[in-house]
Amino acid sequence: MKIAIIGAGPAGLMAAQVLSDEGYAPTVFDAKPSAGRKFLQAGRGGLNLTHSEDFTLFSSRYFEAQSFLQPALEAFSPNEMRLWAQSLGFETFVGSSGKVYPLDKKAAPLLRAWLHKLKANNTQFKMKHRLVGWSKDIWQFETPDGLKDYSFDAVILALGGASWPRLGSTGAWTTILEDNGLNITPLKPANMGFNVTYSKLFKEKFSGTPLKNVELRFRDINGKLQSKLGELLVSEYGVQGSLIYTYSKLLREQIEQNSPFTVYLDLFPHRSESKLIQQLSASRGKQSLSAFWKRLGLTGVKASLLREVLAKELLTQPELVAKTLKKFPLTLDSYRPIEEAISTAGGLGFDNLDQHLMLKDFPSVFCVGEMLDWEAPTGGYLLTGVMGQGKQAAQGLLKLLQKI
């Protein structure tokens, strides 16, 4: 039985694990020299495996694709993710924000243990094999030894999106699948930053500075008010970070319809506007304005943001300053390119697939992971989703094989 898994990311590796645990010996193909490169990249700041929130709330994080993702999430829930890590010898913990990490927060040791288990279970790996063509039952790969044609009894495609292309996800597969008559929604960036026009001085001084304990507010394209407390990061081009990524889909939709689009930051969410007016109206005596502001906790990046939008002569008006601090206008000019994004929106539509993620027009060919048309914010949702789909498809393939 020749089973190919094309793509050695988390979705493909999970599919391989399910199959190898059942006694099959799948072969995993990948264009790069080593497996799990985006998995390692995702773990650079601490490997966020999943989230500990209530499962119903967790499932709602997948936007319009929730109903399509539900079987995968039920097959591989956040709790299942923790048990999976434990089975490889890695205990997990819940961070202050509800995110779940391995105790050491590192990706490399976990990936090594996973690959070791797969190889011990007879999973084969063919690296530096880039899929370049598919026609009927022939799958063509570009290899170190030139072009090679393969045929398989079953295939699970886990080809990724188009973010971080240097790690292997180039999106080149879209042409291959479209040539076979499949419906592909154009790929777009997800969990990306946005461009903001800053002064040169502000960029030089505050690029890379976190903006903590702020509240982001805006209305989405349906007019619904969105708001959340959190942290974002000022970058050389604009803004990025968890608070931005949470809403990247909704902000992207607004940018596409209403560019530029202005969101609002409450820079002092735990202080009322009237309290700020009172504090700003106090006598500062011989103190400089900066020294006076410092007494109130208005320093650094927040003070400089004020100077970005208010003329110097307006900075001494308590009511205006307080109003601006509570509703700071942050204008997003555009979103960053897909190459810089953490993940991808768009891809192969679920209408091409059956309930087991098998292509309706190509029996025994399954598709999983980021190459499908869904997205989710950072926080463990992406990884849980792709690994769940890998498990869902592999279980679907097992059912198919039992019928043969």
pLDDT of residue 404: 63
Contacts of 336 (CB under 8 A, 6+ apart): 189, 192, 193, 194, 195, 237, 238, 240
- Say if CB 369 and CB 15 are below 8 A apart: no
| Residue type, position 140, single letter | Q
Contact 251, 377 (CB under 8 A): no
Q: In what order do the strands lie in the sheet with 146-150?
A: 130-135, 138-143, 146-150
Residue with tokens 């869902």: 392
Q: Which residues, other chains included, contact 259 with Cβ-Cβ below 8 Å and sequence gap of 6+?
A: 332, 333, 334
Residue linked to tokens 């996973």 = 114
Residue (of 185, 209, 165, 208) closest to 340 by Cα position: 165
d(CA 241, CA 239): 7
Go through the domains of the chain in sequence order and give each one's CATH number.
3-190+341-403 (3.50.50.60), 194-335 (no CATH)
Q: Provide the residue-wise pLDDT of the chain in tens; the chain has 404 residues.
A: 999 999 999 999 999 999 999 999 999 999 999 999 999 998 888 999 999 999 999 999 999 999 999 999 999 999 999 999 999 999 999 998 999 999 999 999 999 999 999 999 999 999 999 999 999 899 999 999 999 999 999 999 999 999 999 998 999 999 999 999 999 999 999 999 999 999 999 999 999 999 999 999 999 999 999 999 999 999 999 999 999 999 999 999 999 999 999 999 999 999 999 999 999 999 988 899 999 999 999 999 999 999 999 999 999 999 999 999 999 999 999 999 999 999 999 999 999 999 999 999 999 999 999 999 999 999 999 999 999 999 999 999 999 998 76
- Looking at the DSSP assignment, which residues form a beta bridge with residue 358? 366
**What is the three-state SS of the chain?**
CCEEEECCCHHHHHHHHHHHHCCCCCEEECCCCCCCHHHHHHCCCCCCCEECCCHHHHHHHHHHHHHHHHHHHHHCCHHHHHHHHHHCCCCEEECCCCEEEECCCCCHHHHHHHHHHHHHCCCEEECCCEEEEEECCEEEEEECCEEEEECCCEEEECCCCCCCHHHCCCCCHHHHHHCCCCCEEEEEEECCCEECCCCHHHHHHHCCCEEEEEEEEEECCCCCEEEEEEEEEECCCEEECHHHHHCHHHHHHHHHHHCCEEEEEECCCCCCHHHHHHHHCCCCCCCCHHHHHHHCCCCHHHHHHHHHHCCHHHCCCHHHHHHHHHCEEEEECEECCHHHCCEEEEEECHHHECCCCEECCCCCEEECHHHECCCCCCCCHHHHHHHHHHHHHHHHHHHHHHHC
pTM comes to 0.94
Give the integer Cα–Cα distance in Å for 161 and 370.
5
pLDDT value of position 45:
83
Q: Say how far apart CA 58 and CA 182 lie, in whole Å.
A: 30
